Homo-oligomer: A and B are copies of this chain.
Amino acid sequence: MVVRVAVNGYGTIGKRVADAVAKQPDMKVVGVAKTRPSFEARVAIQRGYPLFVAAGGKVEEFGAAGLPVAGTVPEMLEVADVVVDAAPDKVGRENALLYEAAKVRAVFQGGEKADIAETSFTAGANYSAAKGKRSVRVVSCNTTGIARAVAVLDRHYGVESWDATIVRRAADPGESKKGPINGILPTFKIPSHHGPDVRTIFPHLNVQTIAVVVPTTLMHVHVNRVRLARPAQDAPELAQAFRSARRFHVFEEWEHVDGTPQVMEFARDRGAARPDMMENVLWAHGIRVDGREAHFFQAIHQESIVVPENIDAIRAMFDLAPDAEASMAITDRTLGISRS
């Protein structure tokens, strides 16, 4: 079976999900939807994705730009088995009605509230929860990053509590309207929403998050303070635990990766179709272990980390793979995610 996937919203996440779907042996892109013509729409057409006009968009504008349009979103849904909703935050709520009416399954993103779907999802943590579901919500980039790391440490040591300071990038690299240009903005709500959001995956986890926004576009960085249930031996042991898991990349000190500028430089160097880091990024020399206390940094690429999770979500919904490992193995191989 080849699942027919539509992507509604062709921005940072949508365009990446479309490209990822196109690489899967068991899925194909039947359409992507955008509201207005842009360089991104032009690239979509060049890639051969049928282009549909999203709600609020005008067909004439695409015509004026010389971009052929295949129809509107309801028409796109007619030819799809599942739609990945990558519309702006909160818009998914409206779209959900449309999807239900069209009897098309749906994958939502973490900008929507948890109750929009039957389950929230991170492949490495609760793959089976999405099996056979008609709607699934892939949690947001920071939540995915935390959930993945929790899953690893929980498996190896058990996790008693998880405190994270989330140093957030203020805008994506392709955005030019958002600031701040110079300054740090605390997210005054303590705890930030990320903690409760992680509990949509790990309901009983004692997790607390606090966030600040900083003037950079590349990646988020988490400062993690974890209390384990059983002691770890040392930092290299913890590094190895992460290295042996899927979707983690651990840099060594001799690699001279001083921070997110060099992480993204590596992403550009390794020559994937996009310069993305779909892995959680850690530094072996940025881990400290003291018995049951573990402290470590991880960097999260907000633009791409949820992409493989969207793919696995679809696979789980349509039962295209026996289990998480089987699905993730296909996803990772096709997307060029190797273990470090």
**Which of B174, B216, B273 sits near A261, CB closer than 8 Å?**
B174
Question: Does A123 sit within 8 A of B, measured CB to CB?
Answer: no
Tell me how far the C-beta of A9 lies from the nearest C-beta in chain B, rounded to whole angstroms: 15
The reply on A274 being an interface residue by CB < 8 A is: yes
Chain B residues with Cβ below 8 Å from A40 are 265-266, 269
Pair A256/B39 contact, Cβ less than 8 Å: yes
Whether A55 is near chain B, meaning CB under 8 Å from some CB there, is: no
Q: Is A132 an interface residue (CB 8 A)?
A: no
Tell me the nearest residue of chain B to A261, going by C-beta. Answer: B183
Interface flags for A288-326 (1: CB within 8 Å of B; 0: not) read: 100000011101000000000000000000000000000
User: Among A71-79, A106-114, A186-194, which stretch is in contact with chain B?
Assistant: A186-194
Assess whether B181 is in contact with A215, with CB atoms less than 8 Å apart: yes
**Do residues B268 and A184 form an inter-chain contact, with CB atoms below 8 A?**
no
A219: interface (CB < 8 Å): yes
Copies of this protein chain in the complex:
4
Q: Give the dominant DSSP class at A's interface.
A: mixed
How far is A40 from B296 in the complex, measured between Cα atoms in Å?
24
Whether A37 sits at the interface, judged by CB under 8 Å, is: yes
A163 and B214 form a contact (CB under 8 A): no
In the complex, the chain B residue whose C-beta lies closest to that of A15 is: B269
State which of B169, B252, B259 has its C-beta within 8 Å of the C-beta of A180: B259
Q: How far is the CB of A297 from chain B (nearest CB, A)?
A: 4
B223 x A286 contact (CB < 8 A): no
Interface size on A, residues (CB 8 A): 82
Instruction: Name the B residues within 8 Å of A270 (CB-CB).
Output: 43, 46
Chain B proximity of A75: nearest CB distance (Å): 23
Report the bound CA distance from A61 to B256 in whole Å. Answer: 13
Q: How far is the CB of A64 from chain B (nearest CB, A)?
A: 7
Report B-chain residues with C-beta under 8 Å of the C-beta of A165: 165, 167, 210, 223
A185-220 vs B, CB cutoff 8 Å, 1 = contact: the mask equals 110101100000000000000001010111111111
A259 lies within 8 A of B183 (CB): yes
A36 interface residue (CB < 8 Å to B): yes
Docked-complex contact A186 and B221, CB < 8 angstroms: yes
Beta-carbon nearest neighbor of A267 in chain B: B275
A157 interface contact, C-beta 8 A:
no
Minimum CB distance partner of A286 in chain B:
B188
The distance in angstroms between the C-alpha atoms of A259 and B261, with both chains bound, is 21
Across-interface contacts of A255 in B (CB, < 8 A): 37-39, 42, 65
Is A283 in the interface zone, CB < 8 Å from B?
yes
Contact assessment for B173 and A216 in the assembled complex, using a CB-CB cutoff below 8 Å: no
Q: Is A240 an interface residue (CB 8 A)?
A: no
- Please encode chain A, from 60 to 73, with 1 for each CB lying within 8 Å of some chain B CB and 0 for all others: 01001100000000
**Residue pair A185, B259 in contact (C-beta under 8 Å):** yes
A212 to B169, CA, bound (A): 13
**10 further interface pairs, Cβ-Cβ under 8 Å (given A176-B183, A183-B260, A188-B285):** A38-B256, A40-B265, A43-B269, A174-B262, A177-B179, A180-B216, A184-B216, A188-B253, A191-B295, A212-B221
Q: List 16 A-B contacts (CB under 8 A).
A: A37-B254, A38-B255, A42-B255, A165-B165, A170-B181, A173-B182, A174-B264, A176-B180, A176-B261, A181-B181, A182-B216, A182-B261, A185-B260, A188-B285, A213-B259, A215-B216
